[in-house]
Chain A
Amino acid sequence: MKTLLSTLIALGALTLGSSVHCAQLRGIVQDANGKAVPNAVLVAMPEGVAVPPANAAIEVVDQIDKEFVPYVKPVRVGSLVRFPNKDNIQHHVYSFSSAKKFELPLYKGAQSEPVRFDKPGVVKLGCNVHDWMVAYVYVTDAPYFGKTVADGSIVLKDLPSGRYRVHVWHPQVEASEEELAKRVDLAGGDSLTVNWSVKLKPAFRPLRAPTPGDGGYR
């Protein structure tokens, strides 16, 4: 009992201590008109220190109502991603992207084989049955990342003190990651906000809604 109590006290002190020395980084991404940009990935890569090893996380990109959910999925290098099919029909997921070429031929159900994303980069997903289905897996070797929500903001918590190279990525952003990269210094207890104003290009994909004479399938 005494041992358990001491362990809990030690763990509590460690947790308290680490949060005191950690900072938080808030990213806000807006387009050229000041409109919030959701689904933008914010990446914080520490500089001059060893990067914590990646956990073998298992992430999920669903297929619901013939759409990928979510539209953008940031993952750490080495992560496994499952592609459960929650529709009552077959999907055929594929990617031609150099960061990860793969194909999950026609399948139904939630028990698809996970795919390991072992190289950093952007992986564009498609469905060979439903051409309008498009999504992106953003694979990063940085330990701290997340994506913006509807108001265009994202908060990365528990970042150790130090210097970081931070950048954002979005499927429609015209500028390169290099152009959008910034360097920030975070000290313990800091709460820093970094803003990005980005120019977006249109995202084209086949129309899904019925049009006359298309004889098509949605």
Chain B
Amino acid sequence: MIRYAYRFLSSRVVLFCICSTLLPISVVRADWGADASITTVYNNNVNNALEVRDRRHDLTTTVGLNVGYFAQLTTNTSASVRGLLEQNFSAHYSGLYNTGIGLRAQLRHKFALGSGSPWLSGSLQAIHRDYHDQLRSGWRYDAGLNYGQPLSERVLMGASIRYDSFVADRTSPPVVPGFATNAYDISGWSLGGNGTFLITPADRISLGYTLRDGTVVASTPPDFTWFGISRAILPDPVFSSESLFVAYRTNAKTDIVSLNWSHELDRRLSFNFGYSFYRSRIEANFGNYYSSLFSANIGYSL
């Protein structure tokens, strides 16, 4: 009962925060905006398994809407606040269905006048994800700094540093003595760089590399060798249709290489395709797991 009350209240608190932040701004006639998007992602290792035989693939579709306002605070500094709403559908795992609702705030500063000037932005985001598999539900927090340096009207170089954290709403009683069960409570620091290039006036490609150092969750069949490097262990019903899978939380350094192509169909509509390759190196040379993600996205500015 308390659990449901907490879930009910937590999503209402987010809604209240969004409304109380956004509504006063309408008085000063800030620039409102809304973006809608549909994204489909194929992930060939959605459970982060080390062994190829344990990998599970999935196709997820996300319908997203963000609504918010933008305000130019000074000549070169702007702020934006957006409410975020997402619905995620999984093709193979109903437990991964989730609804996300949250808030994102960003402050951006240009160091000089004009489109060619470098800029620095800082952002904070909190989003609550409510999964069908309730043990996965929780808050995802992101804080980041991004730096952009246009080299020409076609080339932009960027760098970013980010901290992410996921805090699950609930924990289960211990299943393995001596091990915590908050397997989905993960966090990490990321450092990245990227280059963006306009190949035509309507087509942009970007290539990026990110190194993330933090905790990860891998769901695999039970394996005692994981005990030595796991911080938390929890049975994972989502992938346990044929045999038991267990979610292990451990430390890893993850290399992410991504390549994206955006095509602007008109000034409000874009098609986007992406590929990301993940290599996570688990601590103590325990092993690596790999994932490839292919994505397609349609974004529309309302």
Contacts and interface: CB of A to CB of B under 8 A. Distances in A.
Contact of B39 (A67, A208, A212): A212
Nearest to A65: B267
A92 interface: yes
A145 B204 CA distance: 36
A92 B78 CA distance: 12
Task: Name the residue in A89, A92, A209 with the highest tally of chain B Cβ atoms < 10 Å from its Cβ.
Answer: A209
Dominant SS at the B interface? strand
Interface residues of A, number: 29
Interface stretch (A27-35, A125-133, A173-181): A125-133
B123 A202 contact: no
Question: Which interface class (under 10, 10 to 19, 20 to 34, 35 or more) fits B?
Answer: 35 or more
Interface stretch (B4-12, B26-34, B226-234, B246-254): B26-34
B106 to A, nearest CB: 6
B31 to A, nearest CB: 4
A108 to B, nearest CB: 9
A131 B33 contact: no
Contact of B198 (A204, A211, A215): A204
B262 interface: yes
Given A106-B75, A128-B76, A215-B104, A96 B268 contact: no
Contacts of B92: none
Nearest to B202: A207
A16 B126 CA distance: 75
Contacts of A158: none
Interface string A182-218: 0000000000000000000011111111111001011
Contacts of B121: 215
Given A204-B153, A215-B104, A128 B110 contact: yes
Contacts of B288: none
A111 to B, nearest CB: 17
Contacts of A89: 29-31, 70, 72
A105 interface: yes
Contact of A209 (B76, B198, B200, B267): B267
B201 A204 contact: yes
Dominant SS at the A interface? loop
A90 interface: yes
A207 B204 contact: yes
A3 interface: no
A215 B123 contact: yes
A126 B272 contact: no
A71 interface: no
Contacts of A202: 200-201
Interface of B: 29-31, 33, 35, 37, 39, 70, 72, 75-76, 78, 80, 104, 106, 110, 113-115, 121, 123, 153-154, 198, 200-202, 204, 260, 262, 264-270, 272, 274, 295, 297, 299-301
19 contacts: A89-B29, A89-B70, A92-B113, A128-B110, A202-B200, A204-B154, A207-B198, A207-B202, A209-B265, A209-B299, A209-B301, A210-B35, A210-B37, A210-B300, A211-B262, A211-B299, A212-B260, A212-B295, A218-B35
Closest 7 CB pairs of A and B: A210-B299, A209-B270, A131-B115, A89-B31, A210-B35, A211-B262, A209-B264
Given A129-B78, A210-B37, A212-B37, 19 more contacts: A89-B31, A89-B72, A92-B75, A96-B114, A126-B115, A128-B114, A129-B72, A132-B267, A203-B201, A204-B154, A207-B204, A210-B299, A211-B260, A212-B260, A212-B299, A215-B123, A217-B78, A217-B80, A218-B33
